[in-house]
Each structure stands twice: as structure tokens, then as C-alpha cells.
Amino acid sequence: MSVAKTLVGRRRANLEIREPMGLLAKSLVLLVSVLIGLAVSVCILIASGVSASDLWNEFIVYIVTSPKNLSAVLVQSVPLMIAGLAAAVAFRARFWNIGIEGQMIFGAIAATYIAINDLGPEPMRLVLMFMAAAIGGIGWILLPAILKIKLNINEIISTLLMNYIAFNFLLHLLYGSWRDPLSGFPNSQQYDALEVFPLLGWQSLNFSMVISLFLVLFVLWLFIFSRFGFVLKVLHGNSEMARSLGIRIGLVVLLVTALSGALSGICGFVISAGIESRMTQSFFVGFGFSGILIAFLARDNPIGILIVSVLFATLVIGGQSLQVFYQIPFAMVQLIQAIIVMCVAGSEFFIRYRIAILR
Amino acid sequence: MEFLVFWLSNIPSFAAPFALGVLGMIICERSGVLNLGAEGFVLVGAMSGAGLLIGYGDFPLLALVVSGACAALLGVLFGLLVATLRVNQVIAGLIIVFLAQGLTSLISRNMGWVNKPFSGLGKLDFGLLSDIPTIGPILFGQDLVVYLTVLIYFISFQIINKTNLGLMLRAVGESPEAVDAAGGNVTLLRFGAIVVGAFFLGVAGGYLTVVVSKIWVDGISGGRGWIIIALVIFARWRLWRAMVGAVLFGCIEALIPRLAAIGVQLPQYFVLMLPYVVTLLVMVWSNVQSGGREGAPSALGRPYLREERH
């Protein structure tokens, strides 16, 4: 093997499996890999013409010192957090839900349907929209979930294909019967005042923050304290053992994917009712991928997801001002996310193995 | 009849990118490396081909080679992740897709390549042969790449099935332990398969811009990379079945503009859903037929490290 046996003079490098690393050493490796990822990203940004001091200002100073920017970061972190939870929940059952964006679209469509038709009593409107969004998301993940359980069809591809189908359906609505009658633009009409989240009284922070924190706690309870979480742990660790213990794997996967779909649907809803006050044709873009990366970085841990999504939101808000003031395309944000995750993924190699130089 | 000739003569140029992409996927996955980064390689190929034509002059065939080369470069990164560092192949593939989406969007905007039409690669003209009614435009009215693709398939089939190198490639996908014990270099073989596979996926992407659209916009591959992955399952990792799948999808994609041309009124966005719906149906069909893993290399998706051998 080229890696294991790189001949250097008479010495050779050999791979050895490490003793399990301690938590401190592990965190150190993780930290170093994140720093390497950030360093690479900073180099790319500087090469694109943003000076280092501007970067420091845009990403740290302006966000920490300005309550307005800080609240923008927190508002932005809400959908990222929920998308991260949606990905993590599915991953726990070894179901790769790459279709978060499609489920977000159907969640938002269901909520918007309630909003534009003014269904239900007014005080209950937001609650109804919330439930509709969850059901919309579940509806869109149901087919890939059943195909996976019954026919063992690869869910990575099926959920992803469903994204494209959902997107075309969204365009069909927005360029058709749901086009805004006032402006003529291809987005839904603006939500009424009682259909958007009430503000919490500090800057732009709104009620969706409470929802996301509640969802974090709920998933934490589910994973760690509930009986179902234990079943999931067994299934995640060893599906053969789970089967012989009599766990109905199909049912567990169905429930977990439904929860993942519901979370995705709610994620779409908090963007339309919490950030944009209407359904646009691009509200979902990038959240599915970010959700997966957040769940991966946080090792599916809900508290970790909370932290990582605030960091990702900082990246997004900083990226938005780079876009405005330095004409840096927003794709840079996605690139930075991918670079950091790549470094972290690569670092696991050094957590598991040691390169020993043999004589 | 005219409809039929038009349709049939359009199929090869819609089928070619699928055929080239599936070929790249099969080369990579026969070595046991699960490649979910297909969409990323296709995107990089599509952008770099277009970029060469816009920025550096009108060399369409060179552009296709550059498409492949740039995707192969990304393949080196993918190889580093999965063959050398043994990162989870699902995560590594998804990272490649995210990275390629960000990278292509960033580079094309910085270089000013977005929405700039170019002349690209045209159809060949065989003179008299191309003028034969009905058969002429179908068989002798295609671009060079279509004919090359058939040739490449023939050569690849010979290499994979008839040479020692092909045997090593297949063996490393079935049992890397055996290859290692026999003195073969598992990491090198997989690395090579990834890079060559990425090259063909890149050419497939290049074909989309250089030959078909003759323009670059963000995300122009529109999920074709994922359709290619589904086609590999349909093809059961066999080359000639892959060709059948590619032609099938060529038929569907070629039908969409034809339907509009003859005045069939269908809701536009439902028609655009068609390829994805058909891909889902094809996956259902092949799984009902064979359980989905028939023909899959036994070691597909499993990193190999001698020290962890059981």
C-alpha cells in the first residue's frame, strides 16, 4: 500500500490503529482540523480581494458589537438548526435524508395553503400552519421511506430526485395560480400579520427561536432519555442485533423518517413565516446541504447542532455583507462550509490511526 | 414520420452524456468505491469546458478534454479522501457535490463566464451519407463525440473484461483482501479508478455545455449526476446494460422538446419533472427485478485497510 509502506530510505511509514483517543485529544484534533479549514477559506477570500482586517471586521467585530447583526445571526440560525435536527434524526436510523429541501418546499406549500385561504379561526392560524407544514414534510418523505423499507431502494438517490420534483411543483404554483396578485412577481402573496411569528421584543428575534429551542430539547429527550432513543441506539449500532432482539426495524425507520420529514417541513415554514413573510421560489436553497453538514459536524448531538448552526449562521450573515460590499458571490459560503467539513472528515483518519516510522 | 425522424436523430446527443457518465461511474465503482459525487464531477466538467471556450478560444474538442481533466483533478481530492484517508464514502461523495457547487458558481462568476453563449461543437457532415432520407440524419448526422462514445465503450469493455488491469480492477471491488495478498496495491488501484472515472464524468459534463446547451449557468447539470447514479444500479454495474439505460434516458429527454414542438399542450413544469419521475420508476423496476444489489461489487462502499482486515 502506498500510504502504509512509503519507503523513505531504509525507514518506512506504517499505519497502526490507535488506542481509543481521550476526549481532550479528540477535541484537539477536531479543533486543529477546523482551524486548517478556516485558514484555507481565509486564503481563498483574501485571494478574491477581501483584506484580512475586513474579514475580521465582517465576521467578528460587526457581529459581536452590533445587536442588529447579532439578532440577524440568531434569526438565521433557526432554520439551520431545524434542518440540522432533521438530518441528524434520520442519520440515527441510518437513513440518509438528502431530500430535506424537497420536504421544506412541501412544508411551506402546506403552510402557505392555510395562509392564503385563511383557513381556521384566526388565533389558531399559526398553529394550523405549523401542523400543516409538519404534515407536508412527512408527506414528501413518505414515498422514499416506504420504497426504502419495502423494496430497499437507495434513499440517497430517491430523496434527492424528490427535491427536483418538488422544486418544479413549486414553480408550477408560483408561476401559476399562486403568483402574487398585487406585485405580479412569482412568489406567494404576503402573509397577513397574524400569519407571521410575533416578535420577542429584542431586535428582529421572533417566536421561531422558541420553537427551534423546543425542538432541540425534544430531540435531546428523544435521543437520550426516551425508550425510543434506546431502540434507535441499538439499531444504529448493530441492525442485525436489533433484528434478533425483535425490534421492528421497518416501523422504527418509518417513524424516524416521518419525524425527519416533519422537522424539514417545519424548517421551510419558519423561513416563510419567520424571515420572508411569504413563500418565494428560492427560500429553501442550501438549507438541505447545510443541515446535513451541521449534523455531521455535531455528530448528531442536538446541543452540538445548536452551537454549530449559530456558527454557520454567522458565516451566512458575514457572507451576505461580503456579497453586498465586496461582490463576493454567496456561493463562497457554501464553499467554506464544504472545506471545513472536508477537513473535519479527513481528521478522523488521524484520530483512528497513527503513522509509525519503522526502521 | 417526420416527428419520428426528428426524435430519433436527437436521441444520441441526449444519450451521450448519460453514457459517458455511467461509464465513469462503473469504472470507479467496480473498484469498490461508492461515488455519490457524480453531480459534482459533472458540474466541474460542464463549467471548465464552457470556461475554456469563452475565455481562451474556440477549441471544442480540447474543451472536452479540459472538462475531463478538471474533473479528474477533483477526483484526486476525492481519492485522497476515500482511498487514502478512508473517509466514509457517503459523506465524502456529498462533500464533493457541495464543494463543486460552490466552486463552479464562484469561479464562473469571478471569471465572468455566466450566461455567455459560444459556438461549441457542431454535428459532423458525411456529405451524401447524411443526405439519405430517414437513416441519414439518425446515423450520419451526429457529432464526433457520439461516435467516439461507442468506440470508448468498446475499448473499455475490452480493458475491463479482457486484460489483467481490468481483472485487478474487478478483483479490488470484489475482495480487496485478495488483491492485497496477491501483491496488488489496493490504494493505488482505487485511486486510479476514481481519477479515470472522474475524467469520464467530467467529459459528460463538458458535453452538456460544449455540445448541448452552448452556454453555462449555475447548476446546469440539473441533477443528471444523480440520474447517472441511478442508471448504474439499473445497469447492474455492466457496461452494455449501461448503454441501454443511457439510450432509454436519451429517448425521454429528446421527447420533451419534440412534444412541445408538435404542439402537445402539457403543463410545462410537470413535463420538466418527467426525467426524475422516470428515474424513480426505473429504480423501483430494477429493485423489484433484482433486489437492487445484484451485480454490485461486493466491497462497494467498504474502505480497505490492511491493519483492519478480518
The answer to whether B291 faces chain A, any CB pair under 8 Å, is: yes
Asked if B185's CB is within 8 angstroms of A346's CB, the reply is no
A191 within a domain of the structure (yes/no): yes
pLDDT, average across residues B239-264:
86
Q: ipTM of the predicted structure?
A: 0.86
The predicted structure's pLDDT at residue B310: 52
Provide, rounded to the nearest whole percent, the portion of chain B with pLDDT above 70: 97
A98 chain-B contacts, CB cut-off 8 A:
94
Nearest to B84 among A3, A96, A345 (CB): A3
A52 within a domain of the structure (yes/no): no
Provide, rounded to the nearest whole percent, the portion of chain A with pLDDT above 90: 45
Do the beta carbons of residue A314 and residue A294 sit within 8 Å? no
The predicted structure's pLDDT at residue B99: 93
Mutate to test the interface with A, among B229, B269, B288, B307 (most CBs of A within 10 A): B269
Do the beta carbons of residue B235 and residue B22 sit within 8 Å? yes
The predicted structure's pLDDT at residue B291: 62
The predicted structure's pLDDT at residue A68: 85
CA distances from B280 to A100, A144, A147, A321, B142 (A): 17, 9, 10, 40, 29
The answer to whether A332 faces chain B, any CB pair under 8 Å, is: yes
The answer to whether B306 faces chain A, any CB pair under 8 Å, is: yes
Nearest to A172 among B94, B98, B267 (CB): B267
State the DSSP string of A169-231: HHHHHHTTTTS-TTT--SSPPPPPGGGSPPB-SSTT-BTHHHHHHHHHHHHHIIIIISHHHHH
The answer to whether A151 faces chain B, any CB pair under 8 Å, is: yes
- The cell numbers describing B279, all together, are 428515474
A216 within a domain of the structure (yes/no): yes
Phi then psi dihedrals of residue B308, to 5 deg: -105, 10
Question: What is the C-alpha separation between A153 and A156, in angstroms, rounded?
Answer: 9
Nearest to B284 among A4, A153, A329 (CB): A153
Q: Which of residues 170-209 of A touch B (CB under 8 A)?
A: 171-172, 175
- The cell numbers describing A222, all together, are 428523544
B292 chain-A contacts, CB cut-off 8 A:
151-154
The predicted structure's pLDDT at residue A350: 84
- The cell numbers describing B20, all together, are 459517458
Of A204, A220, A225, A187, which is closest to residue A301 (Cα–Cα)? Answer: A220
Number of domains in chain A: 1
- The cell numbers describing B197, all together, are 472515472
pLDDT at A8 over 50: no
Residue of A nearest to B273 (CA): A165
Of A123, A114, A31, which is closest to residue A347 (Cα–Cα)? Answer: A31
Whose cell is 499505519? That residue is: A15
Of A62, A104, A27, A157, which is closest to residue A282 (Cα–Cα)? Answer: A104
Reported as a pLDDT band with limits 50, 70 and 90, residue A1 is very low
pLDDT at A15 over 80: no
Question: What is the C-alpha separation between B94 and B97, in angstroms, rounded?
Answer: 5
Question: What is the C-alpha separation between A156 and A166, in angstroms, rounded?
Answer: 16
Question: What is the C-alpha separation between A269 and A272, in angstroms, rounded?
Answer: 5
Asked if A339's CB is within 8 angstroms of B99's CB, the reply is yes
Lowest mean pLDDT across A35-39, A353-357, B111-115: A353-357
Asked if A161's CB is within 8 angstroms of B279's CB, the reply is yes
The answer to whether A285 faces chain B, any CB pair under 8 Å, is: no
Closest CA of chain B from A206, distance in Å? 30
Sign of CA dihedral A328, A329, A334, A339: negative
Question: A7-8 and A353-358: which strand pairing?
Answer: unpaired
A96 within a domain of the structure (yes/no): yes
Asked if B105's CB is within 8 angstroms of A331's CB, the reply is yes
- Mean pLDDT value across chain B: 89
Reported as a single tens digit per residue, the pLDDT across A61-110 is 877 788 888 889 999 999 999 999 999 999 998 899 999 999 999 999 99
Q: Look at B130 and B279; give whichever has higher pLDDT.
A: B279
A2 within a domain of the structure (yes/no): no
The predicted structure's pLDDT at residue A120: 84
Reported as a pLDDT band with limits 50, 70 and 90, residue A10 is low
Do the beta carbons of residue B104 and residue A338 sit within 8 Å? no
A13 within a domain of the structure (yes/no): no
The answer to whether A335 faces chain B, any CB pair under 8 Å, is: yes
Of A330, A339, A343, which is closest to residue A286 (Cα–Cα)? Answer: A330
- The cell numbers describing B235, all together, are 445497469
Do the beta carbons of residue B15 and residue B147 sit within 8 Å? no
Q: Which of residues 153-212 of B touch A (CB under 8 A)?
A: 180, 185-188
Of B188, B282, B211, B204, which is closest to residue B26 (Cα–Cα)? Answer: B204
The predicted structure's pLDDT at residue B254: 87
pLDDT at B42 over 60: yes
- The cell numbers describing B84, all together, are 487514502
Do the beta carbons of residue A359 and residue A7 sit within 8 Å? no
B188 chain-A contacts, CB cut-off 8 A:
2
Of B207, B189, B191, which is closest to residue B66 (Cα–Cα)? Answer: B207
- The cell numbers describing B201, all together, are 464524468
Reported as a single tens digit per residue, the pLDDT across B265-282 is 778 888 888 889 998 998
B187 chain-A contacts, CB cut-off 8 A:
1-3
Asked if A3's CB is within 8 angstroms of B106's CB, the reply is no
CA distances from A322 to A43, A182, A226, A254, B69 (A): 15, 32, 44, 42, 32
The predicted structure's pLDDT at residue B277: 93
The predicted structure's pLDDT at residue B39: 95
- Mean pLDDT value across chain A: 88
Range of the domain at A265: 80-299
Residue of A nearest to B95 (CA): A338
Do the beta carbons of residue B218 and residue B108 sit within 8 Å? yes
Asked if A158's CB is within 8 angstroms of B87's CB, the reply is no
Q: Look at A211 and A49; give whichever has higher pLDDT.
A: A211
Q: State which amino acid sits at residue B230.
A: A
What CATH code would you report for B2-308?
Answer: 1.10.3470
Reported as a single tens digit per residue, the pLDDT across B208-227 is 999 999 999 998 998 899 99
**Which residues 6+ apart lie within 8 Å of A157 measured at CB?**
B226, B229, B230, B233, B279, B283
The predicted structure's pLDDT at residue A7: 46
Pairs of residues, one from chain A and one from chain B, whose beta carbons lie less than 8 Å apart: 140
The answer to whether B273 faces chain A, any CB pair under 8 Å, is: yes
Reported as a single tens digit per residue, the pLDDT across A142-193 is 999 999 998 888 898 899 999 999 999 999 999 988 998 888 888 888 888 8
Asked if B269's CB is within 8 angstroms of A157's CB, the reply is no
Nearest to B272 among A48, A163, A168 (CB): A168
The answer to whether B261 faces chain A, any CB pair under 8 Å, is: no
Closest CA of chain A from B91, distance in Å? 8
Sheet of A7-8: strands edge to edge? A7-8, A11-17, A353-358
Reported as a single tens digit per residue, the pLDDT across A260-310 is 999 999 999 999 998 888 999 989 988 998 999 999 989 889 999 999 999
A340 within a domain of the structure (yes/no): no
Q: State which amino acid sits at residue B242.
A: A
The predicted structure's pLDDT at residue A2: 47
The predicted structure's pLDDT at residue A12: 67
Q: State which amino acid sits at residue B208.
A: L
- The cell numbers describing A151, all together, are 423494496
pLDDT, average across residues B3-18:
88
The answer to whether B277 faces chain A, any CB pair under 8 Å, is: yes
Whose cell is 447524411? That residue is: B130
CB atoms within 10 A of CB B302: 14
The predicted structure's pLDDT at residue A306: 95
Do the beta carbons of residue A63 and residue A317 sit within 8 Å? yes
The predicted structure's pLDDT at residue A359: 66
**Which residues 6+ apart lie within 8 Å of A353 measured at CB?**
A15, A16, A17, A18, B305, B307
The answer to whether B74 faces chain A, any CB pair under 8 Å, is: no
A56 within a domain of the structure (yes/no): no
- The cell numbers describing B46, all together, are 460542464
Q: State which amino acid sits at residue B283.
A: M
- The cell numbers describing B304, all together, are 480497505
- The cell numbers describing B258, all together, are 419534440
The predicted structure's pLDDT at residue B33: 94
Question: What is the C-alpha separation between A40 and A42, in angstroms, rounded?
Answer: 5
Angle at which helices A125-151 and A155-174 cross, to 10°? 140
The domain segmentation of chain B, as residue ranges, is: 2-308
The predicted structure's pLDDT at residue B120: 82
Closest CA of chain A from B190, distance in Å? 11
pLDDT at B235 over 80: yes
Q: Look at A202 and B43; give whichever has higher pLDDT.
A: B43
- The cell numbers describing A297, all together, are 459536524
